[in-house]
Structure 1
């Protein structure tokens, strides 16, 4: 066994997606070369050969059962299409220019990405009605963004089934990364569920795998001047101007003092904070008051999603179709963006 064949054996052992049926044709004829061509530049690449091998049907069906979609994805070709990134065609055309090209998940990933964004946006907006717009966008990205999709795909065990190729350049001028190809699998699965079943089933899939995860929204709310933002927020609700009151203190004349400050609007306490100085405690108290407003949650039993008004997509235009009672919530007042830091931490200027 020469060096190329030994590399092929080690590569095939690492890649579990190689079908056992390929063992009968092992080693492939591409690995054999006449003695006169022993030093040709176009050497056989075992990694590419292993990547070109189709995933076995047993692994595809096991994947469908593992994620609980055995009744939806009964056709192994659909699962194989969902796990085939569009960059795989570049590698396929190089080795099999005359064969018909396999179907990829390019369109499925685009549709699934839109559906996941819809489900995440309506759920977060309904659950946190006072959340600022920029923070809501960041929360949607945290729930269904590319890093989360890639992580969920790995947890599903889809890495051995992925077919992709790291092309030198793409349309936008950047390389195709493995994480980008992995992120396309959950999006494609969402589109397939929507295609084979209904929007309701696709929404349940997204809620189970993505929206059930805990995301720290408090860390996304940062203010360079929370006192000014709180003052404008109180004025918007026609309440009394906020005032700071010292609630507790200890060690004022020591090297480690602690002050507890509360911010009140009339007799109502809006927030409370502590710090080693009165200024720091007042800053944290104003920030705590803003967090209490922006992170106000709607009880789970009162959450109504617009996409749940119709049970099936086929009856969405049928007035006689099954539908659920839906009461649209009242729109929350526009958020206060004064001195609210953006993605880069640059204060937002007031217009």
Structure 2
């Protein structure tokens, strides 16, 4: 019994060190059910210190510190709002088990759904406006890289939300999969985005998403994969009314040696579209066509010409269909046919 008590106290100390429970709750630890020896070592209702700590209320000081740390203390003055944003719906069965007579706490289920839609909209309009010629499938990958579940989970950890999260891995029923900690963590930034939208405006929520998500660097070049870049380049030049691209050997060395190097350039009329090198003419031509496509698809719209659809909305609370301070939104150019042919098809189609 003494060993069990020491182990429980040690576990409580570790849990308290991470600010997951209030120090005032330690005076009631261990509870009476923890001192009862289980009849079977495999008993399902055996006392677990981690579950006991999970159902304890989060200290208000930790919630206030979290609000100040992310720069939203002026918006989230009520700590109950932050507590709701950090409470996943998987936490309810555990809370109901330990406190059957108490009212269930509010979860972030609806907030996370709303925040996920807002973050997807903000990221999509920015990627589409910044890279107007980016293929659709690649654009979806870039949006996922900015605001997808792994990024949301990483941002939540950087914010220091891990000790504040309330969740439980065990599913509510046998047919449901277990809830992963990463998925529960990802719901916190989404809920914060929805709360900012409700408390302030769409403009403030977009500013929050841009500061924490859109500002991250994403390697777009690695997402552009080509099976036949030369054919794609020919279709692309036809779409823009340019001359058919032709390959030209610019320089070479060691043709009859063990390590030759060829440099090939692709031209459309007098304009040089791209350049590539390789140990063979075919490889150099492949890389030159790939470089030409990268120059087109990775073309960035300047900051002074970048306009987002949500920037035309009102900056305060009210009807989002009212005209904002900026001018009317101008839609980008239509998507090229080659993009639809070679990038929007399924994996089995020719690209």
Q: TM-score, normalised to structure 1's length?
A: 0.92
Query: Does the CA-based 8 Å contact 2:90-2:171 persist in structure 1?
Result: no
Report the Cα distance in structure 2 between the residues aligned to 1:140 and 1:106, rounded to whole angstroms: 22
TM alignment of 1:115-264, pairs within 5 A = 115-168=118-171, 173-264=176-267
Instruction: Say which of 308, 314, 317 aligns to 2:318.
Output: 314
Displacement of 1:93: 1.2
Query: Does the CA-based 8 Å contact 2:193-2:205 persist in structure 1?
Result: yes
Report the Cα distance in structure 1 between the residues aligned to 2:109 and 2:171, rounded to whole angstroms: 18
Report the Cα distance in structure 1 between the residues aligned to 2:344 and 2:260, rounded to whole angstroms: 30
Displacement of 1:85: 0.3
Query: Does the CA-based 8 Å contact 2:156-2:189 persist in structure 1?
Result: yes
The secondary structure found in structure 1 opposite 2:276 is strand
1:348 corresponds to which residue? Answer: 349
- State which drifts further: 205-214 or 2-11: 2-11
Residue deviations 1:198-222 (CA, integer Å, cap 9, x gap): 1111000000000000101111111
Cα RMSD (Å) of the superposition?
2.0
Query: Does the CA-based 8 Å contact 2:203-2:315 persist in structure 1?
Result: yes
Displacement of 1:251: 1.2
Report the Cα distance in structure 2 between the residues aligned to 1:342 and 1:2, rounded to whole angstroms: 66
Report the Cα distance in structure 2 between the residues aligned to 1:265 and 1:172, rounded to whole angstroms: 59
Instruction: Say which of 30, 35, 55 aligns to 1:32.
Output: 35
Displacement of 1:3: 3.7
Residue deviations 1:94-115 (CA, integer Å, cap 9, x gap): 1111110000000000000000
Query: Does the CA-based 8 Å contact 1:8-1:47 persist in structure 2?
Result: no
Aligned length: 344
Report the Cα distance in structure 1 between the residues aligned to 2:343 and 2:332, rounded to whole angstroms: 24
1:54 corresponds to which residue? Answer: 57
Displacement of 1:13: 2.5
Aligned CA distance change for structure 1 residues 317 and 124 (closer, same or farther; 3 Å): closer
Displacement of 1:38: 5.5
Residue deviations 1:266-305 (CA, integer Å, cap 9, x gap): 0001111111110000000001111111111001122111
Q: TM-score, normalised to structure 2's length?
A: 0.92
Q: Does 1:298 align with 2:298?
A: no
1:12 corresponds to which residue? Answer: 12
Displacement of 1:83: 0.3
Report the Cα distance in structure 1 between the residues aligned to 2:315 and 2:286, rounded to whole angstroms: 48
Query: Does the CA-based 8 Å contact 1:143-1:213 persist in structure 2?
Result: yes
Q: Does 1:281 align with 2:284?
A: yes
Report the Cα distance in structure 2 between the residues aligned to 1:39 and 1:232, rounded to whole angstroms: 72
Q: Does 1:268 align with 2:275?
A: no
Report the Cα distance in structure 1 between the residues aligned to 2:329 and 2:168, rounded to whole angstroms: 48
Report the Cα distance in structure 2 between the residues aligned to 1:318 and 1:325, rounded to whole angstroms: 12
Displacement of 1:173: 3.4
Q: Which runs of 5+ in 2 are unaligned?
A: none
Residue deviations 1:198-247 (CA, integer Å, cap 9, x gap): 11110000000000001011111111000101011111112111100011
